[in-house]
A and B are shown apart, each in its own frame.
Chain A
Amino acid sequence: MANRTGTAQRPNGQTQGKICQFKLVLLGESAVGKSSLVLRFVKGQFHEYQESTIGAAFLTQTICLDDTTVKFEIWDTAGQERYHSLAPMYYRGAQAAIVVYDITNQDTFGRAKTWVKELQRQASPTIVIALAGNKQDLANKRMVEYEEAQTYADENGLLFMETSAKTAMNVNDIFLAIAKKLPKNEQNTGQAGNAQGRRLTEGDTGPRAAGNCCK
């Protein structure tokens, strides 16, 4: 409970302002670099032949933004998209999504558009969606033009960046941009508190355990 909400304490005892927690989901075709982006963001690592990491489809990372600590609860697809079998529960309650495509593969861009459409239909209407054109380090093999993606993103109200998990280009930036765009005021949380369900935890007897953002 404490790690989901509350006021953070610096080691010296000073309070640091509010902590907001958000569920962020990654979407996109297999092998566009979804897990690599997260791994770069969370662990600062990159493995050329990253195998899907068993048991690690759920990571957290925190960014500080002025007086607010934004904690991302990042959901990876766990490979369920591989055979087009991603469960709808995956993006339930998500406040943010990064839809990833590979700039060297036009099909993955088409598929990314399908995911955006799916999110617009299925996910919360206030979800913040970012489009990431990954593998920017392979720009010489580019098949998706930057302008094309930018136009598409503008038309659909998406954040857009080309990223490279390999060189770390724009990786932190895209998460930061999302963090900035997410609503962090209490008014929002009051409503969400009513609209959201609770996560079950051991020994929980409080009225609510979960909230996306509290004081």
Chain B
Amino acid sequence: MDNTLPTEFDIIIIGTGLVESIISAAASRIGKRVLHVDTNDYYGGTWASFNLKSLQEQGTKPNEKQFENERCLQIGNDVFSIQDFSEKWHIIEHNEKENVTQTPEDNEKQLVETFEDKVTIQDESKEAKPNVNETKENSFSRDSLLNNSRKFNIDLVPKLHFARGEFVQLLISSNIARYAEYRSVSRVLTWVNNTLEVVPCSRSDVFANNRVSVIEKRMLMKLLTSLDEDDDNYKDNQDKTFLEFLKEKKLTPNLIHFVLYAIARSTDTTSCSEGIASTKRFLNSLGRFGKTPFLFSMYGSGETTQAFCRLSAVFGGIFALDRAQVGLMIEDDKVTKVFCQGQEICAEHFVLGAEKIPKLYTEHLKVNSYISRAVFITESSVMPSEQEHLTLFMYPAENGKPIVTVLELGSLTGTCPKNLFLVHLTAKQTTTPQEDFKHIIDNLFQFNDQSTEDIRKPKILWSCYFSLPETNSSDLKGTNHPPNLFVADGPDLDLDYDLTIKKAKDIFKQIYPGDEFLPRAPDPEEIIFGGEENEKENVEVTDTLQKDTTSLNDNN
């Protein structure tokens, strides 16, 4: 097939991270000719999701190949890519039962089947209550996991979405929501007095929770309602910390813990206004899609970049991944063309993902802050239950350790095989990922291959650690790059994509100041085909029908 790309565009976007993908969709949507390229053969850049094998390969990936071309500046740097990747198995290579004399392909097929059989039987039998303690001892081996590699969708940057947050509103208002499916987070946990507790999120949760006394229930409801309703009453509290504020409300230590650490995701030093804002963000999203305020993207957060890229393609954007040789051609301090696999392609504007910035511009840059990440595959939940849960677990800051966001995903999320869980840990880095999360492993998990066994703790079958640069625009300002080259930030620590959308919108507005950002895409029945019914009006729908349904009513 002819692999040649057209050579003239309005805008060329390099890198398929989320910020780049949103800009791509927004530009295509207003009729700009978009070329979107990536040197990777997958979507998402540092925001991608990988299957198990490809994630493991991230650790062994050679640096970007250099290519010789004096006329262009090769893209790619090491500063904004994944750092310190390490992974480790904690289970045996293969089970005795498994026949290893077959060819790898046969073996793969058979093992997948065996694995499937095993789980389907348990799954379909009528009385099959999830079998927490059934005989699956030693049933997982490296081979059995690797042969199900494609059932894993492991996020580099797992995100949750506030049900009434900006991201969800943008998905709906732009009609991108139709491309993706979501699941509700079914419980929020926290670590209090050395135990895991369910955080009561809604009125019904508050009242169902038997660890909270009746008086506490009233107190909590009163606080949440007052925080939710009053906007002005808290101006007097601006100099206080949120903790002080909560103490003044005479809440019990238990309740303070729930509100401060889990609902507001704050620390002891978080300011009152910040704490109130986070609490409101949480409360505002309750009662829309599920028991908690949060949604998670089916098949992983990496799907989100693909959804925006799809919208871009639907409106004419051209996508070319896996382009090994990409460089910028610069004349008079402006980028004029992109060199791409032997072709020279011109455009007016250029957008680069942070990890694609040419080395020349990153030489003197230092990343100020990193994100610590860990991913575990476990064979049971941190809090086993009859039904499979999608769990957000806020681990409070303690003893100099950062707040850690833990996300436990089961097979219903489409990110791991049945009977396994994927655990994501994320925190602002203080030392190394290993150090930042050590206390959590000590308290809650055990490695499958460690000598002592604690039946209460989930066993980690595979673990992986890495760091991601937490970019923000200010880091990139020092790069002195040409004015028609826009740099899209990489991942950040926000639970949702609010910052990401803002960054993408900022760049879009700089490039196309007068244009609407992601107006609603027409529904199928509104689309008129060329040659069909010319007299019909063009049904480009501009009114966004944005009824405000965001009034808070916790229907529970």
Contact yes or no, A83 B319, CB < 8 A:
yes
B314-350 with Cβ < 8 A to chain A: 314-316, 318-322
Alpha-carbon separation in the docked complex, A105 to B178 (Å): 34
Alpha-carbon separation in the docked complex, A45 to B529 (Å): 10
Which of A128-136, A160-168, A199-207 is the contact stretch? A199-207
Interface flag for B179 (CB, 8 Å): yes
Residue of A nearest to B29 (CB): A55
Task: Return chain A residues, CB-CB under 8 Å to B298.
Answer: 92-93, 196-197
Task: Return chain A residues, CB-CB under 8 Å to B414.
Answer: 92, 197
Contact yes or no, A83 B303, CB < 8 A:
no
Interface flag for A2 (CB, 8 Å): no
Contact yes or no, B314 A57, CB < 8 A:
yes
Contact yes or no, A198 B172, CB < 8 A:
no
Contact yes or no, A202 B303, CB < 8 A:
no
Interface flag for A78 (CB, 8 Å): yes
A161-211 with Cβ < 8 A to chain B: 194-205, 207, 210
Alpha-carbon separation in the docked complex, A21 to B321 (Å): 32
Interface flag for B272 (CB, 8 Å): no
A73-102 with Cβ < 8 A to chain B: 77-80, 82-85, 87-90, 92-93
B409-465 with Cβ < 8 A to chain A: 412-414
> Contacts A197-B183, A199-B181; is A60 near B524 (CB within 8 Å)?
yes
How many Å from the CB of B308 to the closest CB on chain A?
10
Q: Which among A29, A53, A77 is the interface contact of B529 at CB below 8 angstroms?
A: A53
> Contacts A45-B532, A197-B182, A197-B183; is A87 near B288 (CB within 8 Å)?
no
Contact yes or no, A79 B313, CB < 8 A:
yes
Task: Return chain B residues, CB-CB under 8 Å to A89.
Answer: 179-180, 299, 303, 306-307, 310
Q: Which among B183, B307, B318, B549 is the interface contact of A79 at CB below 8 angstroms?
A: B318
Interface flag for B491 (CB, 8 Å): no
Alpha-carbon separation in the docked complex, A205 to B556 (Å): 11
Interface flag for B493 (CB, 8 Å): no
Contact yes or no, B315 A198, CB < 8 A:
no
Task: Return chain A residues, CB-CB under 8 Å to B395.
Answer: none
> Contacts A45-B532, A47-B530, A78-B314; is A202 near B524 (CB within 8 Å)?
no
Contact yes or no, B182 A200, CB < 8 A:
yes
Contact yes or no, A80 B315, CB < 8 A:
no
A120-159 with Cβ < 8 A to chain B: 121-122, 125
Alpha-carbon separation in the docked complex, A122 to B549 (Å): 37
The SS class assigned to the A binding surface is loop
Alpha-carbon separation in the docked complex, A125 to B150 (Å): 13
Contact yes or no, B529 A200, CB < 8 A:
no
> Contacts A56-B527, A92-B299; is A85 near B320 (CB within 8 Å)?
yes
Contact yes or no, A29 B524, CB < 8 A:
no
Interface flag for B97 (CB, 8 Å): no
Contact yes or no, A82 B309, CB < 8 A:
no
Contact yes or no, B289 A56, CB < 8 A:
no
Task: Return chain A residues, CB-CB under 8 Å to B181.
Answer: 92-93, 196-199, 210
Q: Which among A43, A87, A201 is the interface contact of B310 at CB below 8 angstroms?
A: A87
> Contacts A85-B319, A198-B182, A199-B178; is A80 near B313 (CB within 8 Å)?
yes
Alpha-carbon separation in the docked complex, A132 to B129 (Å): 43
Task: Return chain B residues, CB-CB under 8 Å to A199.
Answer: 177-178, 180-182
Alpha-carbon separation in the docked complex, A148 to B179 (Å): 35
Task: Return chain B residues, CB-CB under 8 Å to A204.
Answer: 288-289
Interface flag for A39 (CB, 8 Å): yes
Task: Return chain A residues, CB-CB under 8 Å to B529.
Answer: 39, 43, 45, 53, 56
How many Å from the CB of B287 to the closest CB on chain A?
7
Task: Return chain A residues, CB-CB under 8 Å to B168.
Answer: 200
B 280-316 to A, binary, CB cutoff 8 A, 1 in contact else 0 = 0000000111100001001100010011011001111
Q: Which among A43, A83, A202 is the interface contact of B532 at CB below 8 angstroms?
A: A43
How many Å from the CB of A116 to the closest CB on chain B?
15
11 A-B residue pairings within 8 Å (CB atoms):
A43-B532, A47-B531, A52-B316, A54-B315, A58-B314, A85-B320, A88-B299, A89-B299, A199-B178, A202-B545, A207-B290
Question: Which 3 pairs across A and B sit closest by C-beta, in order of nearness?
Answer: A197-B181, A87-B306, A197-B298
| A79-B316, A203-B547 given; 5 more Cβ-contact pairs under 8 Å | A58-B314, A79-B319, A80-B309, A89-B180, A89-B299
